Amino acid sequence: MPYSAIIIKICRAYTNTQEDFEDYYQEVCLQIWKTRNNFRGQAEWSTWVYRLSLNVNLTLMKKKSNHRYATTESLPDELGESSQAFADESLNQLYDAIKLLSEVDRGVILLYLEEKTYQEIADITGTNPNNIGVRIKRIKERLKKLLDGKVN
């Protein structure tokens, strides 16, 4: 599947178990396949994949009521399988922190880390580009706090 890296990165941020991750990944792939004819080329294909992946993840999260970390301020007591998803421990910790953000903030920070421009982030998330900068600053501060000074 082309652009599978994008889908993996997004699905990891919205799931807590390997099983959920595989389900979400599969559903995104299926939706891309089903709706690929809707891609009209107004944006880049990768932008379209980001948008669709985020939308599918948000929809599935709502369906599965998988919000257990979204409103807590602290890291989960027990590390779920997702915490061991990557070989890089720092990346696992960063993902754990990202999962504590709200659904929209997760999307925004993932797109920021993927080096999307503010305009692209706004296009993909359907938000105002003028607010993206401030929002990213706030999210980064929150992540730093969550990672307890392990990042600068």
Partner 1 sequence: MEKSIESIWKQGFLNNDALVAPKLNDLYNQKSMHLIDKFKRMFKINLNLIVAGSIMFLGISFLIGIPFMGIGFFLTLTVIVVVNRRLSRGLSKIDKSESSYHYIKAFDDWLREQVSVNRKMAGFYYPLFFLSMVLGFWYASFDGKQPGEALTNKLISTYPDQDLVFGVPIIVIIGVILVTVFLAYFGGRIYNWDLKVVYGDVLKKLDEIITDMEELRN
The residue among 62 and 150 lying less far from partner 1, judged by its C-beta, is 150
Q: Indicate whether 4 belongs to the interface with partner 1 (CB under 8 A).
A: yes
CB 21 within 8 Å of CB 80: no
Contacts of 42 (CB under 8 A, 6+ apart): none
Contact pattern for partner 1 over residues 55 through 94, marking x by CB under 8 A = -------------------------------xxx-xx--x
CB 86 within 8 Å of CB 95: yes
* C-alpha to C-alpha distances, 42 to 20, 38, 39, 127, 128, nearest whole angstrom: 32, 11, 8, 18, 19
The residue among 7 and 49 lying less far from partner 1, judged by its C-beta, is 7
* Closest-CA residue to 17 (of 60, 74, 73): 60
* Closest-CA residue to 51 (of 18, 13, 6, 2): 6
Residues in region 114-133 near partner 1 by CB under 8 A: none
Q: How far is the CB of 64 from partner 1 (least distance, A)?
A: 17
Contact pattern for partner 1 over residues 7 through 46, marking x by CB under 8 A = xxx-----------xx--xx--xx--xx--x---------
CB 33 within 8 Å of CB 57: no
Q: Of the candidates 113, 137, 145, 148, which one interacts with partner 1 according to CB under 8 A?
A: 113
Residues forming contacts to partner 1 in the complex (CB under 8 A) are 1, 4-5, 7-9, 21-22, 25-26, 29-30, 33-34, 37, 86-88, 90-91, 94, 113, 140, 143-144, 147, 149-152
